Amino acid sequence: MNRLLLALPLSLLMAAPAMADLALATSKNCMACHAIDKKVVGPAYKDVAAKYAGQKDAADKLVLKVMKGGGGVWGPVPMPANPQVSEAEAKKLVAWVLSQK
Ligand code: HEC
């Protein structure tokens, strides 16, 4: 009987972190080279999520790559290091990238 009342605030709670992570990605300059659903300088985050779907160790690798940069996966252009991002922030950003569908 209370289910409908509970469902609404819960869905709002679930939506808020996703928006916070987009704000984080924007403030860390990620969105200068990336978009969620189209290639810019770097790959679309949806394509990244699709490529690594189901790979358990992908997140750890990507966290390192976001912090230190690197290339050779998506094309000739490498991603520069992002020293403005802490490891905790990189983890948050990668989890958010991998959750894009
Ligand atoms: C100067 C442009 C630029 C910026 C800024 C940038 N990226 Fe990238 N990113 C790239 C390019 C280019 C690639 C493709 C590299 C490759 O082919 O291996 C990439 C690849 C990636 C990948 C996939 C890596 C892989 O090995 O599949 C992730 C995840 C990613 N970026 C996240 C981020 C995040 C998070 C930020 C912000 C902290 C960020 N990027 C900032 C250009 C950028």
Confidence of residue 13 (pLDDT cuts 50, 70, 90): low
Residue nearest to atom 20 of ligand 1 (CA): 42
Which residue from 22, 24, 33, 60 has its CB within 8 A of the most atoms of ligand 1, so it is best to mutate?
Answer: 33
Cα dihedral angle (90, 70, 48, 25), rounded to 10 degrees? Answer: 40
Could you read off the pLDDT of 28-41 as tens digits, one per residue?
999 999 999 999 99
Higher pLDDT, 4 or 63: 63
CATH topology of domain 3-98: Cytochrome Bc1 Complex; Chain D, domain 2 (1.10.760)
Q: Name the one residue in this structure whose structure tokens are 């987009």.
A: 22
Can you give the residue ranges of every domain in the chain?
A: 3-98
pTM over 0.85: yes
Higher pLDDT, 5 or 50: 50
CA distance 49 to 98: 4
Confidence of residue 6 (pLDDT cuts 50, 70, 90): low
What spacing in Å lies between the alpha carbon of 16 and ligand 1's midpoint?
24
State the pLDDT at residue 89. 96
Q: Report yes or no: 94 and 62 within 8 Å, Cβ to Cβ.
A: yes
